[in-house]
Every structure is written in C-alpha cells, then in structure tokens.
C-alpha cells in the first residue's frame, strides 16, 4: 500500500500549499483521505481524479473537505464526463462517480455551502455520498477502512486503512487533543500520520490539537513503527518540531511534505 502526502497544511495553506489530503493506493484501488482546500489541484499531479474509487473525510472542518467543491465541479462539467463528444473526448455512458464517505450531518453541511451558489445538490450528485458511523467498517476494493472517534471541536474520526492483501496498515490521527483512545486505535500500526499543529498547548478554552512532543509521545505509546507529523504550518520551525517529536517518540520522525510517499 502506498500513501502519498497530497497536502499537509493546517487550516491555512502554506505558500503554494494545500490543506489535509492523503492519497492511498493499493493495487488498482485509490482512496483520497481528506480533501481540504488546495488538495484537488495537487491530487491531479499524482492520480487522474476519475480513477479515485472513494474519498473519505475525517471531519467537517474546511481544511479537510473544502476541495470537494472543485472536485464535484470537475466530475459534473469536465468534457470527458459528458454523454456526448466534447472537444477531443468521445463522450461516456459511465462518468466517474466516486464514493464519498463523510461523517454524520455531512449532507446538510454540503447542501448549505453549495446551496449558496444555487446548486445545493452539486456534491451529492457528483459523488455517491454515504454518512458513516464511527463503528462502521468499509471495504473499498483492496482496502479496509475503520474509524475511531477522537476529541476535537466537532465530531472527528481517526481513520485506519489496511490492506486486505496482507500488506500494511496505516493510521491517520485526523485532528485531536491528547487522548488515550487514539493510542489504542493506532496500536502497532505500520505508519502513523499524526497532527502536530501547536507550538505549545492551547492557553485557553478546550484543547483540540497536539504539539509535536505530544504527537511523538502518542506514537511511542502506540508502538507505531513509523511516525510522520503533519498539519504543521510552514510558518513554524519544522526542524524544531521534528526534534521535539523525536525526543518523545524515541526514534526518527518525518515531517510531512507534499509529494512524500510511504510504502507499508
Ligand atoms: Zn485540521
Ligand atoms: Zn479540525
């Protein structure tokens, strides 16, 4: 199974960057995990969007789903998705319509947002939308997807993708404050991609994110075989973040960068 970092920025994009997006490929199967702002254009560097089998959204924060809008426009209006010949495209009776697995309430959120443009059904028409429950298991081609609720500002799910062919297992922490359940969910994973958003813990209000040191500590306690920290702005000192995470993880840590690929 191959994981490509498509975008890794937090809620505002790095210079030339994209927010949360990870392409997971196993054999012919391709899943896009999160589709934050900037991700759709970046995705096209790595994979034809018409060959994406499913998009899985960890939670309904803009930086994790906003590029469903351009993705939906492409699926709706791209010349090659039309039933009749357009330009050099021959026309098709079977336009791509990827699965879209999103948290409960997603349909209403999507309708509200794209409804502002007068097209409330844009996303549900372009994708085969399914609202998942945290205890569901979803099989997509050669991948099995599991979820686990993690504490964040809205309903949020860590996501595990494992190969049904016996290759590896990959765990994505989504966004969360420190929590023991995430350690248990990720236990023994081959690759842990975990947010390390904060230079220091939040000073006020409820916690919702991790520091690099906390991310390293979670991965060490989970026994993760490899740690990649993500969701870090390019306005942070990435070498400092890496060193902090390595101290608590007890081994080498990668800082996510667009285009980085991992095999598990
Ligand atoms: Zn986020
Ligand atoms: Zn979030």
The mean per-residue pLDDT over the stretch 113-125 comes to 97
Ligand 2: centre distance to CA 59 (Å) = 7
Ligand 2: centre distance to CA 247 (Å) = 25
Residue 167 pLDDT exceeds 90: no
Ligand 2: centre distance to CA 164 (Å) = 29
Residues contacting 40, CB < 8 A, separation 6+:
49, 67, 70, 71, 74
Using one digit for the tens of pLDDT, what is the confidence trace for 22-43? 999 999 999 999 999 999 999 9
By the 8 A CB rule, do 33 and 172 touch? Answer: yes
3-state secondary structure of 148: strand
Ligand 1: centre distance to CA 61 (Å) = 7
Using one digit for the tens of pLDDT, what is the confidence trace for 128-137? 999 999 999 9
Beta strands in the chain (DSSP E): 2-7, 21-26, 29-33, 54-56, 99-103, 128-132, 137-140, 143-150, 156-163, 169-172, 191-195, 227-230, 254-255, 261-263
Say how many C-beta atoms besides its own lie within 10 A of residue 34's C-beta.
Answer: 25
Using one digit for the tens of pLDDT, what is the confidence trace for 74-109? 999 999 999 999 999 999 999 999 999 999 999 999
Summary mean pLDDT of the chain:
97
By the 8 A CB rule, do 192 and 219 touch? Answer: yes
Ligand 2: centre distance to CA 92 (Å) = 38
Dist CA 156 CA 176 (whole Å): 8
The mean per-residue pLDDT over the stretch 183-191 comes to 98
Q: Is 49 left (phi over 0), alpha (psi -120 to 50) or beta?
A: alpha
Using one digit for the tens of pLDDT, what is the confidence trace for 43-81? 999 999 999 999 999 999 999 999 999 999 999 999 999
Ligand 2: centre distance to CA 172 (Å) = 13
The mean per-residue pLDDT over the stretch 203-223 comes to 96
Ligand 1: centre distance to CA 175 (Å) = 5
Ligand minimally distant from the alpha carbon of residue 230: 1
Ligand 1: centre distance to CA 152 (Å) = 9
Ligand 2: centre distance to CA 165 (Å) = 32
By the 8 A CB rule, do 139 and 162 touch? Answer: no
Q: What percent of the chain has pLDDT over 70?
A: 100
Ligand 1: centre distance to CA 156 (Å) = 10
Ligand minimally distant from the alpha carbon of residue 231: 1
Say how many C-beta atoms besides its own lie within 10 A of residue 58's C-beta.
Answer: 27
The mean per-residue pLDDT over the stretch 112-123 comes to 96
Ligand 2: centre distance to CA 149 (Å) = 13
- What local confidence, expressed as pLDDT, does residue 166 receive? 85
What is the spatial order of strands in the sheet that 54-56 belongs to? Answer: 128-132, 99-103, 54-56, 29-33, 21-26, 2-7, 261-263
Ligand minimally distant from the alpha carbon of residue 61: 2
Ligand minimally distant from the alpha carbon of residue 59: 2
- CA count, 13 A, side-chain hemisphere, 70: 13
The mean per-residue pLDDT over the stretch 155-165 comes to 96
- What local confidence, expressed as pLDDT, does residue 198 receive? 96
Question: How many residues appear in the chain?
Answer: 264
Q: Dihedral of CA 52/176/130/36: which sign?
A: negative
Ligand minimally distant from the alpha carbon of residue 103: 2
Ligand 1: centre distance to CA 209 (Å) = 9
Ligand minimally distant from the alpha carbon of residue 10: 1
pTM over 0.85: yes
Ligand 2: centre distance to CA 49 (Å) = 24
- What local confidence, expressed as pLDDT, does residue 154 receive? 96
Ligand minimally distant from the alpha carbon of residue 150: 2
By the 8 A CB rule, do 168 and 225 touch? Answer: no
């Amino acid at each position: 199974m191959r994981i490509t970092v498509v975008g890794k920025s937090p809620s505002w994009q790095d210079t030339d960057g994209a927010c949360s997006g990870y392409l997971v490929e196993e054999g012919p199967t391709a899943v896009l995990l999160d589709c934050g702002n900037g991700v759709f254009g970046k995705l096209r560097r790595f994979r034809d969007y018409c060959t994406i089998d499913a998009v899985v959204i960890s939670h309904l924060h803009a930086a994790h789903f906003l590029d469903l809008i351009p993705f939906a426009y492409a699926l709706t209006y791209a010349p090659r998705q039309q039933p009749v010949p357009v330009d050099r495209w021959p026309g098709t009776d079977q336009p791509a319509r990827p699965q879209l697995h999103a948290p409960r309430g997603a349909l209403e959120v999507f309708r509200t947002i794209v409804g502002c443009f007068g097209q409330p059904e844009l996303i549900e028409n372009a994708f085969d939308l399914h609202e998942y429950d945290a205890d569901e298991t979803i099989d997509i081609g050669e991948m099995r997807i599991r979820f686990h609720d993690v504490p964040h500002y809205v309903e949020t799910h860590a996501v595990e993708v494992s190969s049904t062919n016996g290759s590896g297992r990959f765990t994505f922490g989504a966004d969360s404050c420190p929590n023991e359940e995430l350690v248990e969910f990720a236990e023994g994973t081959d690759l842990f991609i975990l947010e390390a958003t904060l230079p220091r813990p939040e000073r006020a209000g409820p916690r919702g994110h991790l520091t690099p040191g906390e991310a390293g500590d979670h991965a060490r306690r989970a026994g993760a075989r490899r740690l990649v920290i993500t969701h870090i702005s390019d306005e942070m000192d990435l070498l400092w973040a890496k060193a902090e995470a390595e101290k608590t993880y007890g081994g080498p840590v990668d800082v996510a960068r667009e285009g980085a690929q991992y095999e598990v």
